[in-house]
Structure 1
Amino acid sequence: MAAAVRGRRHRRASNAPVSRVLVIGAGPAGSVFAIRMAMLGHEVTLVERAAFPRRRLGEALTPGVRPLLEAVGAGDAIAHAGGRPVAAIRQLWDGPEGRRLDPAAAGCIIDRGRLDARLLEIARAAGVVVRQTASVVARTADATGWRLVLSTAQGPVHWRGDFLADATGRTGQGIAQGPRTIAAHAYWRLGVDTPPEPCIEAGAQAWFWGVPLPGGLYNTLVICRPETLRAARGTTLQARLRTLLAQSRLLRGLSGRTCDGPVGARDATPRISADPVGPRFIRVGDAALSLDPISSSGVQKAIQGALAAAVTANTLLRRPEAGTTALAFYRDSLRRTADRHRRWATAHYATAAATRPDRFWQERAAGAPDASSPPGPALDAQLMRMRPARVSPLTRIGIAPCLGAEFVSEQPVVTHPGIDGPIAYLGGHAIAPLLARFPQGATPLEVARSWGDRVPLKPALAILARLLDDGVIVLEPPETGTDMGAQPGPAAQ
């Protein structure tokens, strides 16, 4: 938190222009975006409809969440939310029941209501004006900015500003990135009977997720087609959820327990906004891109996206001449993220679909890559030392919009079909200049040594291993490896 306040004071001391920014929605994406914009020196107002704390889905955090929160001075938010490490997950997916182990226990379970409340406190400390239990009832835009009317407990409030950020979450809007999906969910107060580990199960027509929460609560989700939920036996949503839970081997014991609060159902179709950003607005978090829940990384994606959105917005406000570059960067980054997660989800669904003929599984597994494709050769010290390497003919060096600390700018990048979009840096080192001076025909170890004036040997070898794994550089076939002076490509054959 102190880092957020220090960063904001530092920016206030500069001569950078200050803009008035309104953020709608105080989930992790909205709060992190607001904090970062305040750190950059903008006047930020954050509007949230609900009182905190409140229950919210998204209680399992992936390991990448913590460093992202630390980047905005919010590293203590996980502890405030009762974060409990997860060392194992009970699973029944593409084989017999078992436990997926994580000896490092890098992921954790939290109370999302408390996490959101803590992030809102940190936003206040960073200088963000928070208007809670308030909503936007009218908005207009003109050449000078935005005019909004907020409904608050004290009466209407009129706000005028320069930039609007929509962080209102999943709304069922946007372009579907997969089949229609619904998540039915309920909380159960099990006390001492609460299972110690999360569980995931692939059923005949759905998949099930159960997660133990701080305070003896247990949350269950049933992810299925909307038609499956409607067809389940029962006249109420709770009855239909119980019917589906009774079909689960791992969670069927809950079907006779008492729910703690109302049962809910929400659209869980992965979607991407058709209009995610403009010169005076940006969509953040699930309002910009919502993932298939199988990813279990929605919170991490939302925070990553919020940090990128803040740099994009800062560029639009302070460097309007780079606006086209910033807009292109944000749109492309959302598209690449959507494509990457769709490929991963499809492959994961395919592992269960191999033994489950129902439409739910087959639709979601359609287009999965052939799992029987042989892996590439394992990289070992001998290969790095003995086999010559060259830049792949499919590798290209060009210029593309890239994310900096405060602004989006065009930078030299490397592209290749094997990597997810253009990359400018690996391990903090610019990649394009390194590849531009790649000594063709040298072994990876010799290449790493030739980069010694820019990159220490150990990080250079790690970069080369990553580039080899992605296909950006390739090893010469063994039969051509004896001619160290040969040049790559057809002329060397």
Structure 2
Amino acid sequence: MSHFDVVVVGGGPAGCATAIHCAQKGLRVVLLEKARFPRDRPGETLHPGVEPLLRQLGITLQDHRRHPGHWVHWDGPSRFQAFSTSRDEQWKGFQIPRVLLDQQLLEQARTLGVHIVQPGHPSQVLLEQSRVQGVQANATQWTGQFVVDATGHHAWLQRQLQIPWRRFSPRLVARYGYCEDSSLQDKKLGLFAHPDGWHWIARISQTCLHWTQLAFAQDVPHRLTPEALEPLRMIGRVRGADVSWRLCRTTAGSGYFLVGDAAATLDPCASHGVIKALLSGMQAASAIVDCLSWPTGEKTVQAAYQAWVQTAVERDVLALRSFYRAHPYPPAWL
């Protein structure tokens, strides 16, 4: 048996942010990640607001493409949506391959003393008197004062504890991939509405494009890749991710917290998945520090975390519904 203050399951942005922030506060942390890196994930385009969060975690993004905004082809003439309206200050986002961002976050956690187990395959949650005490993984019991589920849409701990979801949409699957190109014009990049749903195209290097596509209905035929990219050579295979709008009804409980997509999911059109993942991880880490310093106030701290998650999701759902109503072919399930 290996005992730590915090056991984090999942090594994406939410899990790494939790582990890093806990380690920065002097806690002993183990992080279990079942996949070997590098790995592909959607979320290559980062809003400028991610920069101060990464700076708090000790991460500096250098030598990556910066962009002042993006083209939107949605409810009328195409328009350029800038991050900043000030001529004096250019607020720029990042185009960074997720394989690099995830690796950089994981290495920062390792540098701060987080014990990384990779691959670490969780098989069973450890309970004692209805309190989560740890995780069985790789024939080892990893125990801690708190367990954090950062397993994304797999929602490992949520399934183990059979916590119900609150759902805001039917099942939605985002498909994404990469292709070679060095000539596509800027106006052919960005967010595009089409009869089946939408697609997003972004340049992440001089010769590589990333695309994500979502169909509003899963039971009708639709293009597997954006039409504009079909003549180009694809890099690797097309992947998919469940991005149904949902909120776990209990995001913090006796001995555990849920962060990132394990706590709540919206589709990529919400445009700030990585920011939300980092924020939720840092919030959960701060909540854990508060719980450890104020054991009798654990339920109060966890209620505050749950309220923060719920309020943010409900606000984002309203904004996304409003944006989809402006779509030329809005989904019937709105």
- The alignment's TM-score, normalised by the length of structure 1, stands at 0.60
Residue aligning to 2:27: 42
Q: Quick check: 1:62 aligned with 2:47?
A: yes
The structure-2 alpha-carbon separation of the partners of 1:26 and 1:301, relative to structure 1 and needing over 3 Å to count, comes to same
1 CA distance for matches of 2:56 and 2:134? 32
2 CA distance for matches of 1:92 and 1:72? 35
- Please show how residues 292-307 of structure 1 align to structure 2 within 5 Å: 292-307=267-282
Contact 1:145 1:160 in 2 (8 A): no
Q: Quick check: 1:149 aligned with 2:136?
A: yes
Residue aligning to 2:211: 220
Residue aligning to 1:265: 240
- Please show how residues 125-140 of structure 1 align to structure 2 within 5 Å: 125-140=111-126
1 CA distance for matches of 2:184 and 2:104? 26
Contact 1:194 1:217 in 2 (8 A): no
- Please show how residues 350-365 of structure 1 align to structure 2 within 5 Å: 350-352=325-327, 355-356=328-329, 360=331, 362-364=332-334
Deviation at 1:294, TM superposition (A): 1.5
- Please show how residues 378-397 of structure 1 align to structure 2 within 5 Å: none
Residue aligning to 1:166: 149
Contact 2:69 2:92 in 1 (8 A): no
Contact 1:24 1:48 in 2 (8 A): yes
Q: Quick check: 1:188 aligned with 2:169?
A: no
Q: Match of 2:230, SS? A: helix
Residue aligning to 1:94: 75
Contact 2:4 2:143 in 1 (8 A): no
The structure-2 alpha-carbon separation of the partners of 1:128 and 1:195, relative to structure 1 and needing over 3 Å to count, comes to farther
- Please show how residues 289-368 of structure 1 align to structure 2 within 5 Å: 289-352=264-327, 355-356=328-329, 360=331, 362-364=332-334
Question: Can you give the 5+ residue segments of structure 1 that lack an aligned partner in the other structure?
Answer: 1-17, 233-239, 247-251, 365-493
The structure-2 alpha-carbon separation of the partners of 1:321 and 1:307, relative to structure 1 and needing over 3 Å to count, comes to same
Q: Which has the higher contact order (CA 8 A, sep 6+)?
A: 2
The structure-2 alpha-carbon separation of the partners of 1:147 and 1:279, relative to structure 1 and needing over 3 Å to count, comes to closer
Deviation at 1:157, TM superposition (A): 3.0
Find 1:51's aligned residue among 24, 33, 36: 36
Q: Quick check: 1:285 aligned with 2:255?
A: no
Deviation at 1:95, TM superposition (A): 0.9
Percent of residue pairs bearing the same amino acid type: 29
Residue aligning to 1:32: 17
1 CA distance for matches of 2:69 and 2:58? 29
2 CA distance for matches of 1:263 and 1:71? 34
For 2:145, give the aligned amino acid: D
1 CA distance for matches of 2:126 and 2:69? 50
2 CA distance for matches of 1:85 and 1:212? 10
- For residues 64-86 of structure 1, the C-alpha deviation after alignment (integer angstroms, 9 at most, x for no partner) is 11111112222x1x22xx53111
RMSD: 2.2
1 CA distance for matches of 2:280 and 2:122? 23
2 CA distance for matches of 1:220 and 1:281? 35
Find 2:198's aligned residue among 187, 204, 207: 207
Find 2:109's aligned residue among 100, 105, 123: 123
Deviation at 1:196, TM superposition (A): 4.8
Residue aligning to 2:162: none
Deviation at 1:55, TM superposition (A): 1.6
Q: Match of 1:262, SS? A: strand
Deviation at 1:105, TM superposition (A): 4.1
1 CA distance for matches of 2:142 and 2:280? 26
2 CA distance for matches of 1:49 and 1:216? 31
Q: Match of 2:94, SS? A: strand
The structure-2 alpha-carbon separation of the partners of 1:305 and 1:148, relative to structure 1 and needing over 3 Å to count, comes to closer
Contact 1:90 1:97 in 2 (8 A): yes
Q: Quick check: 1:22 aligned with 2:12?
A: no
- For residues 289-344 of structure 1, the C-alpha deviation after alignment (integer angstroms, 9 at most, x for no partner) is 11232110011111111111111122223312111211210111111001110111
Q: How many residues align?
A: 317
Contact 1:180 1:225 in 2 (8 A): no
Q: Match of 2:234, SS? A: coil
For 1:71, give the aligned amino acid: Q
Residue aligning to 1:13: none
1 CA distance for matches of 2:113 and 2:213? 40
- For residues 141-171 of structure 1, the C-alpha deviation after alignment (integer angstroms, 9 at most, x for no partner) is 11486243322xxxx3332322110000113
Contact 2:132 2:256 in 1 (8 A): no
2 CA distance for matches of 1:180 and 1:255? 26
From the two aligned structures, give the one with the greater strand fraction. Answer: 2
1 CA distance for matches of 2:134 and 2:74? 51
Question: Can you give the 5+ residue segments of structure 2 that lack an aligned partner in the other structure?
Answer: 85-89, 159-164
The structure-2 alpha-carbon separation of the partners of 1:158 and 1:321, relative to structure 1 and needing over 3 Å to count, comes to closer
The structure-2 alpha-carbon separation of the partners of 1:118 and 1:336, relative to structure 1 and needing over 3 Å to count, comes to same
The structure-2 alpha-carbon separation of the partners of 1:206 and 1:93, relative to structure 1 and needing over 3 Å to count, comes to same
2 CA distance for matches of 1:286 and 1:263? 21
Q: Which runs of 4+ in 1 moved over 6 A?
A: none
